[in-house]
Structure 1
Amino acid sequence: MRLVCQVFRSSRKQEMYLYVDKSRGLQDIPDALMAQFGEATPVMVLLLTPEKVLARANVAVVLADIKAQGFYLQMPPTAAELFARDNGRG
């Protein structure tokens, strides 16, 4: 599966991102999620393939979520993930 993906950054939560099928945009995002997400600022367009490596997400999960529900929500890192990243382990 190949997918042209648009990534949006949340105006409300640092390091929260929505991945969507670029051709559909934000039309599949539930209103309740958009209310919590805030303004969606486009940050990049990616060609997702099973071979693609993403920094903080498993591409197979991203593709499956976009296919099943119309989006993938990347949450901000946990305290443990931030600690590992800041100490060169993540």
Structure 2
Amino acid sequence: MLTAVYRSPKKEQTYLFVEKRDDFSRVPDALLAKFGTPQLVTMVNLANRDKLALADIDKVKTNLTEQGFYLQLPPPKEDLLADHKKQLGIEQD
């Protein structure tokens, strides 16, 4: 399963996987508008992989098959101060 991966120029660390290079026909227009003009990052053969760095490969494959695309959002930002206060039992403002 050869897949094209694009990054968003508008949203940092946001990637769009599609079944075929430059084929966004199954991606909703509203999503493309928020995503911006997709910029090709790489082509990935998912058949030769058993995992991806930041996404569940099975979920990616399922979404590609059923929806024609997979949107990878950035991981949530870690708030170390809030975590530390929570461990100390300090109420946050």
Structure 1 and Structure 2 fold alike (TM over 0.5): yes
Which of 59, 62, 77 in structure 1 is aligned with 2:60? 62
Which structure has the larger Rg over C-alpha atoms? 2
| Aligned length in residues | 80
- Residues 55-86 of structure 1 show CA distances to partners (whole Å, capped at 9, x for unaligned) of 00011000000111110000011113x97xxx
Which of 34, 37, 42 in structure 2 is aligned with 1:36? 34
TM-score, reference length from structure 1: 0.80
Structure having the larger proportion of residues in strand: 1
Indicate if the aligned counterparts of 2:2 and 2:47 stay in contact, CA closer than 8 A: no
Identity %: 36
Question: What amino acid does structure 2 have at the position aligned with 1:28?
Answer: R
Runs (4 or more) in structure 1 with deviation over 3 Å come to none
Q: Structure 2 stretches of 5 or more lacking a match? A: 81-93
Question: What amino acid does structure 2 have at the position aligned with 1:61?
Answer: K
Aligned-partner Cα distance in 1 for 2:5–2:42: 5
TM-score, reference length from structure 2: 0.78
Q: Structure 1 stretches of 5 or more lacking a match? A: 84-90
TM-superposed deviation, 1:17: 0.2
